[in-house]
Chains A and B, each alone.
Chain A
C-alpha cells in the first residue's frame, strides 16, 4: 500500500531534549516536506526537499533541521525543543515540485514540549 509513515505518532518531551521525528514514503517520490499545523493557522511549511541531499527552508524553519540521505526518508530534527514547538506535524511527499502533483500526507505526529 502506498503510504507516508511517521513515527512517533505522539510524543511528550521536555524543553531542550533533542528529538527526531521520522518520515518514510514507499512511493519513490522525489519531493518531501514537513508542515506544522496550529489552531487558526492552518498548515505552514517548515522544510522541503526536492531530492536526495537537496533541502530548503519553508516558511517557519527556525528551531528545526532536516536531512535527506535516502530518497524514502526525511527526518525532522528538533535539537533543542521549546514549548512554542508544541504542534501537530505532518510529513508529505509527491512525485515532484509542480502544483499538478498531489501531495500525500502522513498521519501526523502530535508533539508536546513541556
Chain B
C-alpha cells in the first residue's frame, strides 16, 4: 500500500536561508506526487505536482521539488525563505483523488 513519510515534524530556518523539506514515499507503481502548503487558519493549497517527465518540478511561490526514483524521495526546496513561508507543508502520493495518501506534515518556522 502507498504511504508517505515526512521525517521532520518541525523545521526552523532563518529568513533568507535555503530550505529543504524531506518526503519519502512507498508506492507500487509510478507515483503521482504532490506538495501542499497550509497557512494558519487556511485550507491546503497545491504548490506543485509531479506525474512524469522532468524530475525537477517548479511550483508556485518559488518552490521546486525533485523526484528521485532511486531514493523514493520527493523533497521540496526553496533557495531563500521569506517570513510568509511559515506554514505547514504536506507531501502526498496517489494515483487519483480518492486514493491519496498524505504525510503527517512538516511545520516550518521562519526566524527573522
Chain A interfacial positions (CB closer than 8 Å to B):
4, 31, 33, 40-45, 48, 56, 58, 90, 92, 94, 96-108
Specify the chain B residue showing the minimal Cβ separation from A99.
Answer: B32
Which of A42, A97, A102, A108: most chain B CB closer than 10 A?
Answer: A42
Chain B interfacial positions (CB closer than 8 Å to A):
4, 9, 32, 41-46, 49, 51, 90, 92, 94-98, 100-105
Chain A residues in 8 Å Cβ range of B9 = 40
Which of A44, A99, A106, A108 has a CB less than 8 Å from the CB of B97?
A99
Specify the chain B residue showing the minimal Cβ separation from A57.
Answer: B98
In Å, the complex CA distance between A31 and B92 comes to 18
Whether B104 and A106, one on each chain, are in contact in the complex, defined by CB atoms closer than 8 angstroms, is no
Specify the chain B residue showing the minimal Cβ separation from A6.
Answer: B43
| With contact pairs A40-B104, A42-B90 given, residues A99 and B51 touching in the complex (Cβ less than 8 Å) | yes
Which of B43, B96, B101 has a CB less than 8 Å from the CB of A105?
B43
A-B contact count (CB 8 A): 63
| With contact pairs A42-B103, A42-B104, A42-B105 given, residues A102 and B95 touching in the complex (Cβ less than 8 Å) | no
Which of B41, B46, B102, B104 has a CB less than 8 Å from the CB of A102?
B46
A33-B98, A99-B51 given; name 15 further pairs at CB < 8 Å.
A42-B101, A42-B103, A43-B100, A43-B102, A45-B100, A56-B98, A58-B98, A92-B43, A94-B97, A97-B96, A98-B97, A99-B94, A99-B96, A102-B49, A103-B44
Chain A residues in 8 Å Cβ range of B97 = 31, 33, 48, 92, 94, 96-99, 101, 103
7 interchain pairs, CB-CB under 8 A: A33-B98, A40-B9, A42-B102, A42-B103, A101-B97, A102-B49, A103-B44
